[in-house]
Amino acid sequence: MSGTLEKAEEKGTEVQPKESESRGSHLLQAIVTSVSIGVAALYTVGMMVTNEYLFTIGYSDFNLIRPKCIITGTWAILVMISCSGPALSLDRFKDGKITRKTLGIEFLAGYLVAVALGLIFSSVLVSHWSTRVFVGFLLVPVALAIVPLLYFSVVLTLYRDQQPKPSYMRHIPVLAFMLISPLIATVLIAFFIYPQVHSVLGGGRPLPAKLVLNDEGVKVWKQLSGSTLKGHDSVAADLDILYENESHIIVRLKHPSADTGSIAILDKKVILAVLPGPYSM
């Protein structure tokens, strides 16, 4: 009997470490999966915002290896979260937590709080304020609320007497439809806010610079600007860098030619060096 008990105890002590190791591996796997999904979501949003901005200047860049997109996606999602007050008010109304009489007041309060939080948060991102940035923070809360507003309007009509109203979280097609609001918000962020965010933070704020060009680049520059380089024959000035990747640099000419326009996409093969200039405040 004593020998049997000793064997049972030994087996028990062997099982416990195995169970703890299994739980630890499952927990680690869950953490890795969650982090991977989160990073993928940040990267996707960042790439969307970046390319929506590039679309406005006639370019696109879907290179899969752009870590800066994670930074862009991080602050873009934080901006959307800070501007989600009106959408949360509509959700509270759907769940019956507020009445129809108080919906207008709470919606307006949520909108004002969203704009205030957005402006406070953006002070870290945007050092040069403009009317365009302010308009962006006025429109993003509306964009995040417009699709839920349409949905709740339909639900109120179809389920007028049912309390609480059916949750959209139960229906994948409806939940997918709700993603239109964040998509609209990314377009607004790309158009109004992204161009004023410093490139170090994953934004597209123009960088004043000079380009040192090779012989081929000098010829290209003459065609683009309509003028011959003077003084330093290979240095092109009076331009802002709007975007840069591994193969191209997109610049905006301060004195463009009437034939070529103000935006130029230069191959890095014609550029020997980039001389960044100070930001103008």
The answer on pLDDT for 13 being more than 80 is no
Tens of pLDDT, residues 37-72: 888 899 999 999 999 999 988 888 877 677 888 999
The answer on pLDDT for 187 being more than 80 is yes
Residues 6+ positions from 279 with CB-CB distance below 8 Å: 128, 205, 207, 208
CB count in 10 Å sphere of residue 34: 10
Average pLDDT over every residue of 162-187: 70
Residues 6+ positions from 8 with CB-CB distance below 8 Å: none
Token pair recorded at residue 118: 């957005």
The answer to whether the beta carbons of residues 135 and 192 sit under 8 Å apart is yes
Average pLDDT in the chain: 79
pLDDT of residue 169: 53
Q: Which long-range contacts (CB under 8 A, 24 or more apart) does 150-158 make?
A: 151/177, 151/178, 152/90, 152/93, 152/94, 155/94
Nearest to 245 by CA among 271, 208, 215: 271
The answer on pLDDT for 24 being more than 70 is no
Average pLDDT over every residue of 255-268: 78
CB count in 10 Å sphere of residue 138: 17
Tens of pLDDT, residues 111-132: 899 888 888 887 888 877 788 8
